[in-house]
């Protein structure tokens, strides 16, 4: 992996309602590493969180899938096309 990607950081804002949804027992992402409010993530932290989201999407109801997927995409898009390339190749 290129050095500039390893050092890349992004800030993602998770509002309180979305945070409550993500950490509810129905979704089960309490230990994903996000907090309510501003989250400054490194590239590799974001990869780990996105993989947690992908695993969680399999077992949750459609009602929550849209919200989880929206947050997952928000994190992915904050890093631009480098994140998509990394996730598609690994």
Mean pLDDT for the stretch of residues 56-69: 90
Gap between the Cα atoms of 10 and 26, Å rounded: 28
* Maximal C-alpha separation, the chain: 39
Residue 15 is classified by DSSP as -
Alpha helices in the chain (DSSP H): 3-6, 16-22, 43-58, 62-78, 81-89
Domain ranges of the chain: 8-89
Residue 90 is classified by DSSP as -
**What pTM was computed for the model?**
0.89
Q: Report helix angle 62-78 to 81-89, nearest 10.
A: 110
Asked if the model's pLDDT at residue 57 lies above 70, the reply is yes
């Amino acid at each position: 992996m290129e050095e500039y990607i390893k050092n890349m950081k992004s800030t993602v804002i998770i509002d309180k309602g979305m945070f409550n949804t993500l950490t509810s027992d129905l979704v089960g992402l309490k230990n994903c590493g996000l907090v309510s409010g501003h989250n400054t993530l490194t590239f590799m932290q974001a990869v780990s969180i996105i993989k947690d989201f992908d695993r969680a999407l399999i077992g949750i109801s459609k009602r929550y899938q849209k919200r989880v997927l929206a947050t997952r995409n928000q994190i992915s898009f904050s890093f631009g096309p480098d994140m998509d390339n990394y996730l598609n190749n690994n």
